[in-house]
Chains A and B, each alone.
Chain A
Amino acid sequence: MRDAIVSIKKAKAPKKDFITTQVAWGFRKPMNLEKLALLAQRVSGVGLLVYLFFHIFVTGSITSGEQAWEGLMGMLFNPLAHIGELLVVVGATFHGINGIRVMLLELTSLVGHPIRPDYPYKTQMLGKGQQSILYTAMIMAGLSTIAGIFFLFMGAGA
Protein backbone atom coordinates (compact mmCIF):
# COMPACT_ATOMS: atom_id res chain seq x y z
CA MET A 1 0.00 0.00 0.00
CA ARG A 2 2.84 2.31 0.94
CA ASP A 3 4.48 1.73 -2.39
CA ALA A 4 1.42 3.03 -4.09
CA ILE A 5 1.80 6.47 -2.60
CA VAL A 6 3.19 8.76 -5.15
CA SER A 7 4.69 12.03 -4.08
CA ILE A 8 3.65 14.88 -6.24
CA LYS A 9 6.04 17.75 -6.38
CA LYS A 10 5.05 21.05 -7.77
CA ALA A 11 6.79 21.60 -11.04
CA LYS A 12 9.15 24.50 -10.80
CA ALA A 13 9.27 26.88 -13.66
CA PRO A 14 12.78 28.15 -14.32
CA LYS A 15 13.09 31.55 -12.70
CA LYS A 16 14.39 34.34 -14.86
CA ASP A 17 15.28 37.73 -13.62
CA PHE A 18 13.67 40.89 -14.93
CA ILE A 19 16.56 41.98 -17.15
CA THR A 20 16.90 38.54 -18.82
CA THR A 21 13.15 38.48 -19.51
CA GLN A 22 13.24 41.94 -21.07
CA VAL A 23 16.27 41.22 -23.27
CA ALA A 24 14.92 37.79 -24.32
CA TRP A 25 11.60 39.43 -25.24
CA GLY A 26 13.36 41.97 -27.44
CA PHE A 27 15.21 39.31 -29.45
CA ARG A 28 12.50 36.63 -29.51
CA LYS A 29 11.04 35.74 -32.93
CA PRO A 30 9.23 37.29 -34.69
CA MET A 31 11.71 40.12 -34.33
CA ASN A 32 10.81 43.58 -35.50
CA LEU A 33 12.22 47.04 -35.32
CA GLU A 34 9.73 48.51 -32.84
CA LYS A 35 10.50 45.83 -30.25
CA LEU A 36 14.21 46.60 -30.48
CA ALA A 37 13.46 50.35 -30.41
CA LEU A 38 11.39 49.93 -27.23
CA LEU A 39 14.17 47.86 -25.64
CA ALA A 40 16.77 50.50 -26.59
CA GLN A 41 14.45 53.24 -25.28
CA ARG A 42 14.16 51.51 -21.90
CA VAL A 43 17.85 50.67 -21.58
CA SER A 44 18.88 54.23 -22.50
CA GLY A 45 16.22 55.67 -20.18
CA VAL A 46 17.35 53.69 -17.15
CA GLY A 47 21.00 54.46 -17.98
CA LEU A 48 20.25 58.19 -18.19
CA LEU A 49 18.38 58.10 -14.88
CA VAL A 50 21.35 56.45 -13.15
CA TYR A 51 23.63 59.11 -14.69
CA LEU A 52 21.28 61.92 -13.58
CA PHE A 53 21.32 60.60 -10.01
CA PHE A 54 25.12 60.76 -9.80
CA HIS A 55 25.31 63.97 -11.86
CA ILE A 56 23.18 65.82 -9.28
CA PHE A 57 25.53 64.80 -6.46
CA VAL A 58 28.71 65.48 -8.45
CA THR A 59 27.59 69.00 -9.43
CA GLY A 60 26.54 69.55 -5.80
CA SER A 61 30.25 69.69 -4.95
CA ILE A 62 30.35 73.25 -6.34
CA THR A 63 29.05 74.47 -2.97
CA SER A 64 32.11 72.94 -1.26
CA GLY A 65 34.45 75.41 -2.93
CA GLU A 66 36.95 75.55 -5.78
CA GLN A 67 39.33 72.95 -4.39
CA ALA A 68 36.63 70.28 -4.02
CA TRP A 69 35.22 71.05 -7.49
CA GLU A 70 38.57 71.04 -9.29
CA GLY A 71 39.60 67.85 -7.46
CA LEU A 72 36.45 66.05 -8.55
CA MET A 73 36.63 67.34 -12.12
CA GLY A 74 40.30 66.36 -12.30
CA MET A 75 39.31 62.85 -11.23
CA LEU A 76 36.51 62.69 -13.84
CA PHE A 77 38.50 64.26 -16.70
CA ASN A 78 39.93 61.04 -18.15
CA PRO A 79 39.28 58.85 -21.24
CA LEU A 80 37.19 56.27 -19.33
CA ALA A 81 34.85 58.95 -17.96
CA HIS A 82 34.71 60.50 -21.43
CA ILE A 83 33.49 57.16 -22.85
CA GLY A 84 30.74 57.21 -20.20
CA GLU A 85 29.84 60.80 -21.14
CA LEU A 86 29.81 59.84 -24.82
CA LEU A 87 27.33 57.05 -24.02
CA VAL A 88 25.19 59.61 -22.16
CA VAL A 89 25.14 61.96 -25.18
CA VAL A 90 24.36 59.11 -27.62
CA GLY A 91 21.73 57.64 -25.28
CA ALA A 92 20.08 61.03 -24.74
CA THR A 93 19.96 61.75 -28.49
CA PHE A 94 18.43 58.39 -29.36
CA HIS A 95 16.06 58.47 -26.36
CA GLY A 96 14.92 62.00 -27.25
CA ILE A 97 14.21 61.45 -30.95
CA ASN A 98 12.75 57.97 -30.49
CA GLY A 99 10.65 59.46 -27.65
CA ILE A 100 9.24 62.06 -30.06
CA ARG A 101 8.30 59.16 -32.36
CA VAL A 102 6.50 57.37 -29.50
CA MET A 103 4.66 60.58 -28.60
CA LEU A 104 3.55 61.01 -32.21
CA LEU A 105 2.48 57.36 -32.18
CA GLU A 106 0.28 58.01 -29.17
CA LEU A 107 -1.07 61.41 -30.15
CA THR A 108 -1.32 61.41 -33.98
CA SER A 109 -2.34 59.12 -36.83
CA LEU A 110 1.28 58.22 -37.68
CA VAL A 111 0.67 54.72 -36.32
CA GLY A 112 -0.17 53.37 -39.82
CA HIS A 113 -3.01 51.13 -40.98
CA PRO A 114 -3.68 47.76 -39.30
CA ILE A 115 -3.36 44.67 -41.53
CA ARG A 116 -5.80 41.73 -41.60
CA PRO A 117 -4.42 38.77 -39.63
CA ASP A 118 -4.45 36.16 -42.43
CA TYR A 119 -2.29 33.03 -42.36
CA PRO A 120 0.72 33.01 -42.79
CA TYR A 121 0.79 35.86 -40.30
CA LYS A 122 2.98 38.83 -41.05
CA THR A 123 4.45 41.02 -38.36
CA GLN A 124 2.77 44.40 -38.22
CA MET A 125 5.48 46.94 -38.84
CA LEU A 126 5.51 50.66 -38.21
CA GLY A 127 3.99 53.07 -40.71
CA LYS A 128 6.36 54.84 -43.11
CA GLY A 129 6.27 58.12 -41.16
CA GLN A 130 7.14 56.26 -37.95
CA GLN A 131 9.92 54.29 -39.63
CA SER A 132 11.43 57.49 -41.00
CA ILE A 133 11.56 59.04 -37.50
CA LEU A 134 13.11 55.86 -36.08
CA TYR A 135 15.81 55.89 -38.77
CA THR A 136 16.34 59.61 -38.04
CA ALA A 137 16.82 58.73 -34.35
CA MET A 138 19.48 56.18 -35.31
CA ILE A 139 21.26 58.56 -37.70
CA MET A 140 21.17 61.40 -35.15
CA ALA A 141 22.55 59.06 -32.47
CA GLY A 142 25.36 58.21 -34.89
CA LEU A 143 26.03 61.89 -35.61
CA SER A 144 26.02 62.75 -31.90
CA THR A 145 28.65 60.02 -31.41
CA ILE A 146 30.86 61.80 -33.93
CA ALA A 147 30.16 65.19 -32.33
CA GLY A 148 30.82 63.70 -28.86
CA ILE A 149 34.17 62.27 -29.96
CA PHE A 150 35.01 65.62 -31.53
CA PHE A 151 34.30 67.60 -28.35
CA LEU A 152 35.38 65.08 -25.68
CA PHE A 153 38.44 63.39 -27.16
CA MET A 154 39.77 65.86 -29.70
CA GLY A 155 39.38 68.90 -27.43
CA ALA A 156 37.46 70.89 -30.03
CA GLY A 157 37.70 74.61 -29.40
CA ALA A 158 39.89 74.14 -26.32
Chain B
Amino acid sequence: MRESTLQLINYIMILALLVTLALHLAMQAFLGVTGYAQALSYDTALARYREPLSVSLLTILLIAATYHGLFGLRNILLEFRTGPRWDTFVTSATLGLAVVMLGWGLWTIVAAFGGF
Protein backbone atom coordinates (compact mmCIF):
# COMPACT_ATOMS: atom_id res chain seq x y z
CA MET B 1 0.00 0.00 0.00
CA ARG B 2 1.20 3.50 -0.76
CA GLU B 3 2.56 5.56 2.14
CA SER B 4 0.14 8.39 1.31
CA THR B 5 -2.80 5.98 1.67
CA LEU B 6 -1.44 4.75 5.03
CA GLN B 7 -1.12 8.36 6.20
CA LEU B 8 -4.66 9.15 5.05
CA ILE B 9 -5.96 6.16 7.04
CA ASN B 10 -3.88 7.46 9.97
CA TYR B 11 -5.67 10.83 9.84
CA ILE B 12 -9.06 9.06 9.96
CA MET B 13 -7.86 6.91 12.88
CA ILE B 14 -6.64 10.03 14.73
CA LEU B 15 -10.08 11.64 14.45
CA ALA B 16 -11.77 8.45 15.66
CA LEU B 17 -9.24 8.18 18.48
CA LEU B 18 -9.78 11.75 19.70
CA VAL B 19 -13.51 11.19 20.13
CA THR B 20 -13.46 7.63 21.50
CA LEU B 21 -10.53 8.17 23.89
CA ALA B 22 -12.12 11.29 25.37
CA LEU B 23 -15.34 9.31 25.97
CA HIS B 24 -13.40 6.32 27.34
CA LEU B 25 -11.51 8.48 29.86
CA ALA B 26 -14.73 10.26 30.86
CA MET B 27 -16.38 6.86 31.41
CA GLN B 28 -13.59 5.92 33.83
CA ALA B 29 -13.94 9.12 35.80
CA PHE B 30 -17.45 10.56 35.84
CA LEU B 31 -19.63 9.50 32.90
CA GLY B 32 -22.15 6.95 34.21
CA VAL B 33 -20.07 6.14 37.29
CA THR B 34 -19.65 7.74 40.69
CA GLY B 35 -15.85 7.43 40.71
CA TYR B 36 -12.77 5.61 39.48
CA ALA B 37 -13.12 2.76 41.98
CA GLN B 38 -16.66 2.01 40.75
CA ALA B 39 -15.53 2.21 37.12
CA LEU B 40 -13.06 -0.60 37.79
CA SER B 41 -15.55 -2.91 39.52
CA TYR B 42 -16.32 -6.19 37.75
CA ASP B 43 -20.04 -5.45 37.32
CA THR B 44 -19.46 -2.02 35.77
CA ALA B 45 -16.74 -3.31 33.45
CA LEU B 46 -18.83 -6.31 32.36
CA ALA B 47 -21.89 -4.11 31.79
CA ARG B 48 -19.80 -2.03 29.38
CA TYR B 49 -18.86 -5.15 27.43
CA ARG B 50 -22.54 -6.15 27.21
CA GLU B 51 -23.96 -2.82 26.06
CA PRO B 52 -23.85 -2.51 22.20
CA LEU B 53 -23.03 1.24 22.11
CA SER B 54 -20.20 0.83 24.60
CA VAL B 55 -18.92 -2.24 22.74
CA SER B 56 -18.86 -0.25 19.47
CA LEU B 57 -16.92 2.52 21.23
CA LEU B 58 -14.37 0.04 22.61
CA THR B 59 -13.96 -1.66 19.21
CA ILE B 60 -13.36 1.63 17.38
CA LEU B 61 -10.97 2.75 20.13
CA LEU B 62 -9.01 -0.51 19.96
CA ILE B 63 -8.64 -0.43 16.17
CA ALA B 64 -7.83 3.30 16.00
CA ALA B 65 -5.32 3.22 18.88
CA THR B 66 -3.56 0.11 17.59
CA TYR B 67 -3.28 1.45 14.04
CA HIS B 68 -2.14 4.93 15.09
CA GLY B 69 0.31 3.64 17.69
CA LEU B 70 1.94 1.04 15.49
CA PHE B 71 2.01 3.35 12.45
CA GLY B 72 3.81 5.94 14.59
CA LEU B 73 6.26 3.35 15.91
CA ARG B 74 6.93 2.18 12.35
CA ASN B 75 7.66 5.77 11.27
CA ILE B 76 10.10 6.29 14.15
CA LEU B 77 11.90 3.02 13.40
CA LEU B 78 12.08 3.72 9.65
CA GLU B 79 13.72 7.08 10.41
CA PHE B 80 16.30 5.33 12.58
CA ARG B 81 17.75 3.19 9.78
CA THR B 82 17.19 2.73 6.06
CA GLY B 83 17.33 -0.19 3.63
CA PRO B 84 14.91 -2.68 2.09
CA ARG B 85 15.65 -5.42 4.66
CA TRP B 86 15.08 -3.05 7.58
CA ASP B 87 11.87 -1.77 5.94
CA THR B 88 10.55 -5.31 5.53
CA PHE B 89 11.54 -6.26 9.07
CA VAL B 90 9.90 -3.19 10.65
CA THR B 91 6.71 -3.53 8.60
CA SER B 92 6.45 -7.26 9.37
CA ALA B 93 7.12 -6.72 13.09
CA THR B 94 4.48 -3.97 13.39
CA LEU B 95 1.99 -6.07 11.43
CA GLY B 96 2.70 -9.01 13.76
CA LEU B 97 2.16 -6.81 16.81
CA ALA B 98 -1.07 -5.50 15.27
CA VAL B 99 -2.36 -9.05 14.79
CA VAL B 100 -1.55 -9.94 18.43
CA MET B 101 -3.06 -6.75 19.90
CA LEU B 102 -6.16 -6.68 17.71
CA GLY B 103 -6.63 -10.43 18.01
CA TRP B 104 -6.51 -10.41 21.80
CA GLY B 105 -8.54 -7.21 22.14
CA LEU B 106 -11.28 -8.24 19.72
CA TRP B 107 -11.44 -11.72 21.23
CA THR B 108 -11.99 -10.13 24.67
CA ILE B 109 -14.75 -7.88 23.30
CA VAL B 110 -16.53 -10.69 21.42
CA ALA B 111 -16.18 -13.19 24.30
CA ALA B 112 -17.42 -10.71 26.94
CA PHE B 113 -20.28 -9.53 24.72
CA GLY B 114 -21.36 -13.07 24.04
CA GLY B 115 -21.21 -13.99 27.75
CA PHE B 116 -17.97 -16.04 27.34
B is a partner of A: yes
B-binding residues in A (CB < 8 A): 18, 42, 45-46, 48-49, 52-53, 56-57, 59-60, 62-63, 66, 69-70, 73, 77, 89, 92, 96, 99-100, 103, 147, 151-152, 155-158
Q: List 12 A-B contacts (CB under 8 A).
A: A46-B76, A48-B69, A59-B45, A63-B111, A73-B42, A77-B40, A92-B25, A151-B35, A151-B36, A155-B37, A156-B35, A157-B34
Assuming A62-B108, A63-B111, A151-B35, is B62 touching A49 (CB within 8 A)? Answer: no
User: What residues on B are CB-neighbors of A60 within 8 Å?
Assistant: 104-105, 107-108
- Please give me the 8 A-B residue pairs with the lowest Cβ-Cβ distance, nearest first: A158-B35, A157-B35, A49-B69, A60-B108, A63-B111, A56-B105, A66-B42, A151-B29
Do the beta carbons of B36 and A56 come within 8 Å of each other? no
**CB-based nearest A residue for B81:** A18
CB-based contact A158/B21 at 8 Å:
no
A147 contacts which chain B residues (CB < 8 A)? 29
**List of A residues within 8 angstroms of B69 by Cβ:** 45, 48-49, 52
Q: Is B78 part of the contact surface with A, judged by Cβ < 8 Å?
A: no
Chain B interface residues toward A at CB < 8 A: 11, 14, 17-18, 21, 25, 29-30, 33-38, 40-42, 45-46, 49, 62, 65-66, 69-70, 72-73, 76, 80, 97, 101, 104-105, 107-108, 111-112, 116
Closest to A66 in B: B42
Bound complex: CA A73 to CA B69 (Å): 25
Select the residue from A52, A66, A77, A89 with max chain B CB neighbours within 10 A.
A52
Q: Is B36 within 8 A of A63, CB to CB?
A: no
Evaluate whether A62 and B45 lie within 8 angstroms (CB atoms) in the complex, with A56-B104, A96-B18, A103-B11 already known. yes
User: Nearest residue in A to B76 (C-beta to C-beta)?
Assistant: A42
Nearest residue, chain A, Cβ from B28: A151
CB distance from A67 to the nearest CB of B (A): 9
Residues of B within 8 A of A56 (CB): 62, 101, 104-105, 108
Nearest CB in chain A: distance from B94 CB, A: 10
Contact yes or no, B73 A49, CB < 8 A: yes
Q: Which residues of B lie under 8 Å from residue A100 when comparing CB positions?
A: 18
Most buried by A among B36, B37, B72, B112: B36
Q: Which residue of B lies closest to A60 (CB)?
A: B108
Do residues A158 and B108 form an inter-chain contact, with CB atoms below 8 A? no
Cβ contact of A155, chosen from B30, B35, B40, B104, cutoff 8 A: B35
Q: Find out whether the CB atom of A52 lies under 8 angstroms from the CB atom of B65.
A: yes
What are the residues of chain B within 8 A of A59 when measuring CB–CB?
45, 105, 108
